[in-house]
Amino acid sequence: MSSSRLPWSKRSLTAQAMGHVDPITKAVVPPIHVATTYIRDEDNAYSSGYVYGRPDNATIREAEGVLAMLEEAEAGALLFSSGMAAATAVFQALNPGDHIVASKVMYWALRNWLMTEAVRWGLAVDFVETDDLDAVAKAVVPGRTKLVWVETPSNPLWTITDIAAVAEIAHAAGARLAVDSTTASPVHTRPLNLGADIVMHAATKVLNGHSDVVAGALAGATADEFWARIASIRKMQGAILGPFEAYLLMRGMRTLHVRTAAQAKSALDLAQRLSAHSKVARVLYPGLPQHPGHDIAARQMEGGFGYMLSIQVTGGEAAAISTAAKVRLWKRATSLGGVESLVEHRASIEGPGTPCPPDLLRLSTGIEDVEDLYRDLDEALRAS
């Protein structure tokens, strides 16, 4: 049933996975469909709508339906085997010679792919500070630029791009706008409503929220030829998510609103307190009034400013690495968006060419007691 015909909020619909009840067992949790092949009708058709496991699956459709509802995506949603698989499918749907304008600060693996592999596809890429609208306007070439790719808030500096303004620039030049909204989540930002054509999520992160699934997702504003091309790429390359992973993702999304509310509240609390810490030189978090993108974030984000922040540690790189080494409750690990809080020295991970200052620690706020989280960081900072 379409969510538009139901009188319930997105939070209620997500909590019940769109209210699906298994028609055979009456279970309130949808079953996992693992079949790879399906019976043809006597006339050789597939009246069930399912043909083979590589392009389609009933469990995956269930999870895609929840995400499409959350993003208000008219074209629906597509789940991929990873965030990178989802993101690169968008670029692979372009034609050789097409020009791309992308955020200079973004997920490092995708940035590296664009700098290396994209050229093998015959694509031209320019990286700009997409929070600078003049820079975006200068980089976009009417008739040549086919895609503007924006990550906001950008990882790990948490700069904010004005989605609506960039959408106007892109569309005026005949380009599409795609937004990586992983760190915002559809609870805090809905890029399609702000003019974006495609929204991407590394669903491994806060959408799932339990650090036990690798997944990616795209949601589309219009079911046009480009969207069909992306779906075809997923089908032909076998990049669809597995049914068990889709089941786990749907389980994770059921608590999305509760988790993100708690995480955003704790992240803001930590950002405010760490801003006054003697061992912290700077806090990067769009929820702080002094953040350069605060006003735009306040306009395009709802119910909080996300669960991610970064701190620059007084004493430089050595002090930052030492702080990460001394935490006890925070976990030193890659990734973000899970129920456990994570800390990472990003410059060490990203290597040469990283935009990360060497004194920066990225913090992914979980759902632990915020007093415990602050005390653990405070003790580690002072010990370093």
> CA angle at residue 60 from 56 to 65, to 5 degrees?
110
Amino acid at 369: D
**Of 247, 204, 203, 189, the residue nearest 17 (C-alpha):** 247
The answer to whether 184 touches 162, Cβ cutoff 8 Å, is: no
CB count, 10 Å around CB of 25?
Answer: 9
Q: Which amino acid is at 52?
A: Y
Q: Which two tokens stand for residue 371?
A: 């007093």
Q: Which residues are catalytic?
A: 54, 107, 180, 205
**Long-range CB contacts for residues 290-299, cutoff 8 Å, separation at least 24:** 291/158, 291/160, 292/131, 292/159, 292/160, 293/131, 293/153, 293/158, 293/159, 293/160, 293/161, 294/160, 296/131, 296/160, 296/161, 296/162, 297/153, 297/160
- Dihedral sign for Cα atoms in the order 267, 272, 276, 282: positive
Q: Which helix (H) or strand (E) holds 262?
A: helix 256-274
Tokens, residue 302 = 């709802």
